[in-house]
Amino acid sequence: MNVILTQSYEESARKGAELILDAVSRKPDLLLGLATGETPVAIYRRLCEAYQAGAADFSRASSVNLDEYVGCREEDSYRRFMDENLFSKINIPRENITIADYAAPPEAEVTRLRQFFETHTVDLQLLGIGANGHIGFNEPDHDGLEAPVHISPLTQSTKEANAHWFADGAVPDRAITMGMGDILRAKSILLVVKGESKRAVLRELLNGGKVTTNNPATFLLLHPDVTLITEESLTV
């Protein structure tokens, strides 16, 4: 694992955006795996700024999102988050964007996305991490983690961590998520860790050397091309 330590979240975001922009310039038709939440916000802002400054071109790029809530309102959906933070501000073609439909029958969406991953390989997967070690919405589970796209029941702690995004604080009970296999098949992975609450799972990832379904992010230790960017202060 290639670890980049920074002095601030803004620096993490700048370095993360640089890596993504470099990947897009080297392979303009790449497939980007994208995350939502607080971690990527400043990364996406920088991608938008690069595009608006004429320094980036996403016209041949494609994207697939890690996850989406099941049955949420449009204004609370990750689709809306992505439109507001990235898609509406860069020139990625609409037809090149893949994200689960929050309003569609979830089983049909799982089938559609499993088919997508049968024929597509993510070139660069951007990840955040939950305070409980989840990546995507692959929540810790003693019994095992699912490899393909699936419907994931959200843990109480994940719902509490994300409640502030919802106007009424009511987070759906379930999400559709890329599975651990989909994530680990990405050619390269960029994990950005932001926030005090991630300290314990980050330490396990950096020091442990042990892969455990109780901290799904530790499975990244099995991947040959992972870059982890985080603030140095979170690692001590």
User: Of 1, 5, 14, 38, which lies in the binding site for ligand F6R, with binding defined by CB under 6 A?
Assistant: 38
For 153, the token pair is 């029941």
Burial, 222: exposed, middle or buried (Cβ in 10 Å; 0-12, 13-18, 19+)?
exposed
Q: Which is nearer to ligand F6R, 58 or 137 (CB)?
A: 137
Number of Cα atoms under 13 Å in the Cβ half of residue 30 = 21
Query: Does residue 67 bind ligand F6R (CB under 6 A)?
Result: yes
Query: Does residue 35 bind ligand F6R (CB under 6 A)?
Result: yes
Tell me the sheet residues that pair with 124: 32, 188
Which residues in the 162-181 window bind ligand F6R by CB under 6 A? none
> Could you confirm whether 2 is annotated as catalytic?
no
Q: Which is nearer to ligand F6R, 44 or 51 (CB)?
A: 44
Q: Which is nearer to ligand F6R, 44 or 58 (CB)?
A: 44
Q: Which is nearer to ligand F6R, 39 or 85 (CB)?
A: 39
Which residues in the 202-231 window bind ligand F6R by CB under 6 A? none
Which residues in the 117-156 window bind ligand F6R by CB under 6 A? 128-130, 134-137
> Could you confirm whether 132 is annotated as catalytic?
yes
Amino acid at 6: T
For 27, the token pair is 């392979």
Beta-carbon contacts of 104 under 8 Å, excluding residues fewer than 6 positions away, are none
What is the 3-class SS of 136-189, one letter each residue?
CCECCCCCCCCCCCEEEECCHHHHHHHHHHCCCCCCCCEEEECCHHHHHCCCEE
> Could you confirm whether 139 is annotated as catalytic?
yes
Q: Give me the least distance between CB of 146 and ligand F6R, in Å please.
A: 14
**Other beta carbons less than 10 A from residue 131's beta carbon:** 17
Active-site residue identified among 109, 139, 182, 204: 139
Q: Which is nearer to ligand F6R, 57 or 157 (CB)?
A: 157
Tell me the sheet residues that pair with 3: 228
Active-site residue identified among 65, 67, 138, 204: 67
Could you list the residues that contact ligand F6R (CB under 6 A)?
35-39, 66-67, 128-130, 134-137, 194-195
Active site residues: 67, 132, 134, 139
